[in-house]
Structure 1
Amino acid sequence: MAKQLFIRKYRWTSGVALLILLSVITAILSQAKWKNELGYAFTDAKGYYSYLPAAFIHHSFALDTEEKVKYASFKKTDDGKPFIKYTMGNAFCYLPGFLMAHGVASISSYESNGYTLPYQIAFITTALLFLFLSLRLAVKILSRFYDDKTIALTFFLVFLGTNYFHYATSYLSYSHIYSFYFILLFLERSWRVLERFTWKNSLYAGLAFGMMTLIRPVDGVFLIFPIIYGVSNIDTFKKRINYILSHIPQVLFFLLTAVIVWVPQLMYNYSVFEKITINSYKGEKFYFLDPEIWNALFSFNNGWLIYTPLMIFGIIGCFILLKKKEYSWLILTLIYIYVISSWWCWWYVGFGNRAFVNLSAFLLLPLSSCIAYIRSRKRLYYPFFILLLLGVVLNQFQTYQFEKDALRYEAMTPESYLHSFGTLHPTFEFFDLLEKYDTQYAKEGKNVLHVWNYDTLAVLTPSELQGAELGNQDMYKGSFKFKIPEANSFIICAESDETLENLSLYLKLLDSTGQVKDGYGKVNTKSLGNARIQQRMYYRFRYGVNEKDSLQFFFFNKKLEEGKVHELKIYALHAKDSLVFEESVDE
């Protein structure tokens, strides 16, 4: 069955799979993340990866020397002992590639420190391998129920039209593409177990469950799937329980296999804490009585369906399956959304609520069910196909925006999203439209935002700059110097001839000796009609303004355009970071 990918019978699926692989490889090569100091071992992935240099380079998990902690990601126990916060599931996935890279580095000129080019190539090849395995396994699952074109459309939507693509390229070392594969493997083996509860099927199901929980323990909720899949009433539920109880040896073997996968983690826990079960996320928890379901799905701060809107068809597919008395898909989807949205950091810092990439794996079949339903009705199919194309284009563009910082990993708002929509390079104003949730309050289960508020201190209309004429010899025009105590932000507006569309409104911050501390001049331009345009520049000085500093404004006519600035206004503001409580908080 696995050979169905890349054969003539499944030519549409094979073609889309090839497109996916080529798109992912092209994105990886264009991003060139391996050129960074630690390459793909950054933020969370740095923590996942820390086990391997510790085990195979330093030969010790004790992070007790400067060399061992130089690149490692760790926390400290209450008594100051450093430990790796994350479970080691990802490290298991990296391991074969790491060992080959370590061998290459050892016999070449590359430093064998776990971070040079051979190790970065290992990250990439490992990610591509898991992508390929996921495609093959998805065909194996979906071909049980759906035809070639339905599977091809499902692949096109999930792998190119959701945030999976981002985590298969720029963030390929993160956990999600590995979780995706093991969730698929667990689903596929669950079906086999329900058909024939053999020792082999128990073994593979146990390995899949052990790995997917070792990568992300929250995915343990999928254990419910083989218990409730195909259950439509009390009688079928009783039969399922009896079926499971009649295979107790195989059930125990499944559990034993999963536990064996966890043994290295339990041994590590014991070596650090002298007990095998620990909470490495101390101070971080779930708030099951106050889940942020709406925000997790629809907030501009990483709401899943805001940044991955095409997956609404996967949820619709769960309802379509209800007609076939298949309740398990909807039940588990709701449970997973509930659990994910109960975590204190419900926005899961990243692109488009990354925790839901794992749910995308589970929703492959409901999504295919929805697509098959739509394909059977021509009136629905053509509008759907247009939405699919637009959704994939949007996802690819927003993925690129994320790389260019025009979309942020957290703190996005409706205003910042609309301000940046369709642009590749954010203005400074974009950053001041962000509203970041306060981490400490969030850990207490409270939504408290950091918001910029402004007081207008003065409005300046320098007479010498009103009606300024610029010619093809005037790269710089005017020099208006001023001081406004406590002003740290400025909005500058000009009404000019449309021939000056590239004119910059430049403001410099000077210290007491006249040296430049900061400066900015990028403008937003819109047409006013009558051959005139409005230009607007906003900037908040990043390093603060003290009483000895002064400001200098001038026109920067880089392209030596000719025209007249009819009106100029400078708004001097005082910006302050304020806390805004979204809900009542006991002070």
Structure 2
Amino acid sequence: MSRSKISLIVSAVMLLYITFNLSNWRQRNMLYWDCGNYYMYLPAVFIYHDLADLKFYPKIVETYYLNNGQKDFNLYPQPTGHTVNKYAVGTSFFELPFFLLAHGYCLLANDKEMPPDGYSTPYMVMVVFSILFWVMAGLYVLRKFLLRYFSDTATALTLLLLMFATNLYFYTVFNIGMSHPFSFTLFCFLLYHTERLYATGHTRYIIYTAAILGMVLITRPTNIVVALIPIFWPYGQTRTIPQRLQFLAQKKWALLTGAILFLLIAMIQFGYFRYTAGKWFHFSYEKEHFEFLQPHIIKGLFSYQKGWYVYTPIAFIATLGLLPLARQHRQLSLLVLSFLAFTVYIVFSWCVWSYGGSFGSRAMIESLAIMAIPLAAFIQWIFTRPVPLRIITLVIFACCITLNAFQSYQLVNNYTVWDHTNKAFYWYSFGRLDVTEEDKQRLLDER
């Protein structure tokens, strides 16, 4: 069995073991705050038949004490008399098959301890399985993509590092139900189908790619910047503009079909806005905005509060991997660099650039699928270097995994804070499991 297959098996076994040895789903510490709003569409449609007003939700909050009792968290009344859920609908589609399984089980069980209300324990367990399934599906497809450019060893290490040395791990096993891991999987699927499109020329991949981009849009709209990948993919027989135009002209019916499919998927979100807010295009983040003229890029990358490179140092190594990638696949490195630049600019132009209570820069999780390319290039290059350098690099990788696991544990157990960390508190709490509330208050006041 290849090393990359073993890495997938190891990842799946570890994720299952870690997740079901946690207390989140047993103590009903799920389906709250953002996660609960992403999920809310499912019980609203299939159980309560109340997508427009969400009148069922206050009772659910009271029964399960979600959101610390806040019954209208990010639910905005509209002039139409209806209520808009701030969060996009896409995440609920990933959870839908598992939700239906849980709902069927609760109906058949007829157990007062497991009412078919959309929020009892079976529903929470199925949300756990949904994210484990889709993350592993993403890694599986990413493996198939990476093996077309890199060695099996480089691919295996890349998959393990993405899963356990980044905050993808935290949002897969601890903070379950956010949109980012599902978006990560969409990015993985997009990479694979883009490569297949230009390698084979088969029209079905145009349709698949369009459908994936539609799901990207309704899962996290700002991620549509990933459309740069299929539009400017530098491989196949379409490297020049005339060649690409000729290729696309030959696929006009597939392009038309793909465009229609993309719009149909997008209409799910737009239709929801029309139904609730009375207009097709509605900005549901009513109290937030972009600051494109004053982006927070330095803070977003290097801040002790949420810096991407600070809390996910393997992302910095992946960025360095653009150099060996440029030697191996120059045009691909330029595409990845362009994608990274656009993404960093958009993500950190958001007014709440830290994205609230979170571990590291959660808005960059999906981009890890694209950054897998330079990371694999870096690993492949390092394995051509002298043995001492290889050993040092592997030690650094192990430290990145250890740091990520430890800091995830710290955050879940309140040994650190979800937001507003500063330099003094970061280094005081570094490696410690005895941080008190008094320590937090004293050090976080130092600005």
2:126 aligned with 1:119, yes or no? no
Q: Partner amino acid for 2:330?
A: K
State the alpha-carbon separation in 1 of the partners of residues 127 and 395 from structure 2. 35
State the alpha-carbon separation in 1 of the partners of residues 372 and 232 from structure 2. 18
State the alpha-carbon separation in 2 of the partners of residues 264 and 213 from structure 1. 10
2:295 aligned with 1:291, yes or no? yes
Residue 275 of structure 1: aligned partner: 279
Change in Cα spacing, 1:258 to 1:425, as seen in structure 2 (3 Å) is: farther
Task: Give the SS at the match of 2:367.
Answer: helix
Unmatched 5+ stretches in structure 2: 62-70
2:358 aligned with 1:353, yes or no? no
State the alpha-carbon separation in 2 of the partners of residues 298 and 245 from structure 1. 45
Change in Cα spacing, 1:64 to 1:117, as seen in structure 2 (3 Å) is: closer
State the alpha-carbon separation in 1 of the partners of residues 443 and 196 from structure 2. 48
Aligned counterpart in structure 1 of residue 207 of structure 2, from 179, 203, 206: 203
2:365 aligned with 1:374, yes or no? no
Aligned counterpart in structure 2 of residue 137 of structure 1, from 141, 163, 170: 141
Residue 37 of structure 2: aligned partner: 47
Task: Give the SS at the match of 1:281.
Answer: coil
Residue 372 of structure 2: aligned partner: 364
Change in Cα spacing, 1:434 to 1:334, as seen in structure 2 (3 Å) is: farther
Residue 392 of structure 1: aligned partner: 401
Change in Cα spacing, 1:405 to 1:376, as seen in structure 2 (3 Å) is: same
2:345 aligned with 1:338, yes or no? yes
Task: Give the SS at the match of 1:83.
Answer: strand
Residue 14 of structure 1: aligned partner: 5
Q: Partner amino acid for 1:320?
A: P
State the alpha-carbon separation in 2 of the partners of residues 344 and 123 from structure 1. 30
Change in Cα spacing, 1:69 to 1:162, as seen in structure 2 (3 Å) is: same
Contact 1:412 1:434 in 2 (8 A): no
TM-score by length of 1: 0.69
Change in Cα spacing, 1:241 to 1:286, as seen in structure 2 (3 Å) is: farther
The Cα offsets for residues 411-467 of structure 1, whole Å up to 9 and x where unpaired, read as: 1011111111111232223322565xxxxxxxxxxxxxxx46xxxxxxxxxxxxxxx
Aligned counterpart in structure 1 of residue 174 of structure 2, from 165, 170, 176: 170
2:429 aligned with 1:420, yes or no? yes
Contact 1:53 1:113 in 2 (8 A): yes
2:332 aligned with 1:328, yes or no? no
Aligned counterpart in structure 2 of residue 401 of structure 1, from 394, 406, 410: 410
State the alpha-carbon separation in 1 of the partners of residues 122 and 352 from structure 2. 35
State the Cα distance separating 1:235 from its structure 2 match. 7.6
State the alpha-carbon separation in 2 of the partners of residues 64 and 33 from structure 1. 25
Q: Partner amino acid for 2:415?
A: A
State the alpha-carbon separation in 2 of the partners of residues 138 and 235 from structure 1. 23
Change in Cα spacing, 1:196 to 1:329, as seen in structure 2 (3 Å) is: same
Contact 1:411 1:434 in 2 (8 A): no
State the alpha-carbon separation in 2 of the partners of residues 120 and 296 from structure 1. 32
Change in Cα spacing, 1:241 to 1:300, as seen in structure 2 (3 Å) is: farther
Residue 165 of structure 2: aligned partner: 161
Listed as ranges, the matches of 1:174-253 within 5 Å are: 174-230=178-234, 236-253=240-257
Q: Partner amino acid for 1:75?
A: L
Task: Give the SS at the match of 1:243.
Answer: helix
State the alpha-carbon separation in 2 of the partners of residues 313 and 417 from structure 1. 21
The Cα offsets for residues 390-415 of structure 1, whole Å up to 9 and x where unpaired, read as: 11111111111111112222110111
State the Cα distance separating 1:282 from its structure 2 match. 1.6
| Aligned Cα root-mean-square deviation (Å) | 2.2
State the alpha-carbon separation in 1 of the partners of residues 317 and 208 from structure 2. 30
State the alpha-carbon separation in 1 of the partners of residues 78 and 5 from structure 2. 53
Which protein is richer in helix relative to its size? 2
State the Cα distance separating 1:170 from its structure 2 match. 0.7
Residue 65 of structure 1: aligned partner: 55
The Cα offsets for residues 311-352 of structure 1, whole Å up to 9 and x where unpaired, read as: 212111223222332210111111111111111111122101
TM-score by length of 2: 0.90
Change in Cα spacing, 1:389 to 1:18, as seen in structure 2 (3 Å) is: same
Contact 1:320 1:370 in 2 (8 A): yes
State the alpha-carbon separation in 1 of the partners of residues 429 and 295 from structure 2. 29
Contact 1:415 1:433 in 2 (8 A): no
Q: Partner amino acid for 2:85?
A: I
Listed as ranges, the matches of 1:414-563 within 5 Å are: 414-433=423-442, 435=444, 451=445
State the alpha-carbon separation in 2 of the partners of residues 175 and 425 from structure 1. 32
Aligned counterpart in structure 2 of residue 263 of structure 1, from 253, 262, 267: 267
What is the percentage of aligned positions where both structures have the same residue? 26
State the Cα distance separating 1:215 from its structure 2 match. 0.8
Contact 1:198 1:250 in 2 (8 A): no
Q: Partner amino acid for 2:335?
A: S
Q: Partner amino acid for 2:221?
A: P
Unmatched 5+ stretches in structure 1: 1-7, 436-450, 453-579, 581-587
Aligned counterpart in structure 2 of residue 318 of structure 1, from 315, 322, 347: 322
The Cα offsets for residues 348-390 of structure 1, whole Å up to 9 and x where unpaired, read as: 2210110111110111111101110111112431211110111
State the Cα distance separating 1:31 from its structure 2 match. 2.0
Contact 1:74 1:84 in 2 (8 A): yes
Contact 1:154 1:364 in 2 (8 A): yes
State the Cα distance separating 1:229 from its structure 2 match. 2.4
State the alpha-carbon separation in 2 of the partners of residues 118 and 363 from structure 1. 35
State the alpha-carbon separation in 2 of the partners of residues 82 and 267 from structure 1. 14
2:82 aligned with 1:91, yes or no? no
Task: Give the SS at the match of 1:76.
Answer: strand
Q: Partner amino acid for 1:76?
A: Y
Q: Partner amino acid for 1:332?
A: F
Residue 30 of structure 1: aligned partner: 21
Contact 2:35 2:176 in 1 (8 A): no
Which protein is richer in strand relative to its size? 1
* Aligned pairs, number: 427
Residue 306 of structure 1: aligned partner: 310
Task: Give the SS at the match of 1:177.
Answer: helix
State the Cα distance separating 1:221 from its structure 2 match. 0.4
State the Cα distance separating 1:41 from its structure 2 match. 0.5
Change in Cα spacing, 1:174 to 1:67, as seen in structure 2 (3 Å) is: closer
